[in-house]
Structure 1
């Protein structure tokens, strides 16, 4: 697994190859996750790129690792790891909201929500902020206080960001 990750690139085909290989066995997946969650590992960002694709295709495989994921979330600093991690949060939020989806514990929800709010107010790239907004919107269906917080944050800084961010912000504000 290490060699596959080490030789991978940011190209979609390369990330898909690694994610498919990871989904072939528990050992491969465990190694991918171990590398992704080791922020000092030279390939931790590359591993997160492929982990995002694993979670997009087969989120249930990620369930045993959610607690560890919640621990690592606030420690992520590199934009290239923050974006896929925030997207994974969005996948978890959407699944948690659906019947027959993944059921997060209260602690897991709290940790993810706290991290998403932090990402939204910190100086992050637009993509991470958009995924954070979308995930928080879903969590807001369960926790109504989130909508007030989200409304406040989005209203304050929407015009400081790109057109893509503004479009997403407008869309979420309409739904709230």
Structure 2
């Protein structure tokens, strides 16, 4: 039997308004959240990428809802293969890392294992053939992490310097921004 959430996802399109509408329905019905996260990391599900789009929008409003799902989230990052799913998840990953280091009452708490999974996957996305938006989110995530892990900034600098000439203007802009901060 097809779930109510699956029915909603069947009708999601790439139009921003359409994605926002379903995200709002999730925000109003948190009981769908667990299933949404599960679908995000089920690459064989035809709505996998759509669930990731919705998770990104929900995360802007209720990032804290991911707290009980973080071990599942981070351990499954490497299983994503579809670029349409990876890009929004890379953004959510960036939001989670920024929140973790913000250290206020609403901060996300990441375990060392979560952070290691994040570092590994962010470097993988940066050096592999994924679209520029995913690379940009990975660069910014690794920059933040490099403020706490002293080996990350030197590695990130090597990759950015080496790959700089081979990428688009958007990649170069993010690389310049981060390289300026590292130096």
Q: Same fold (TM over 0.5)?
A: yes
Partner of 1:16: 20
What are structure 1's unaligned runs of at least 5 residues?
A: none
Say which SS state the counterpart of residue 58 (structure 1) adopts: helix
Partner of 2:85: 81
Say which SS state the counterpart of residue 173 (structure 1) adopts: helix
Partner of 1:164: 170
Query: What's the CA shift for 1:25?
Result: 2.9
- Tell me whether 1:35 sits opposite 2:34 in the alignment: no
What are structure 2's unaligned runs of at least 5 residues?
A: none
What TM-score do you get using the length of structure 1 for normalisation?
Answer: 0.97
Say which SS state the counterpart of residue 103 (structure 1) adopts: coil
- Tell me whether 1:91 sits opposite 2:102 in the alignment: no
What TM-score do you get using the length of structure 2 for normalisation?
Answer: 0.93
Per-residue CA distance 1:81-136 (angstroms, 9 max, x = gap) = 11011111100111011022112110100101110011101111100000000011
Q: Residues 97-176 of structure 1: matches in 2 within 5 Å?
A: 97-100=101-104, 101-176=107-182
Aligned-pair Cα RMSD in Å: 0.9
Partner of 2:10: 6
Query: What's the CA shift for 1:24?
Result: 2.1
State how many pairs are aligned. Answer: 176
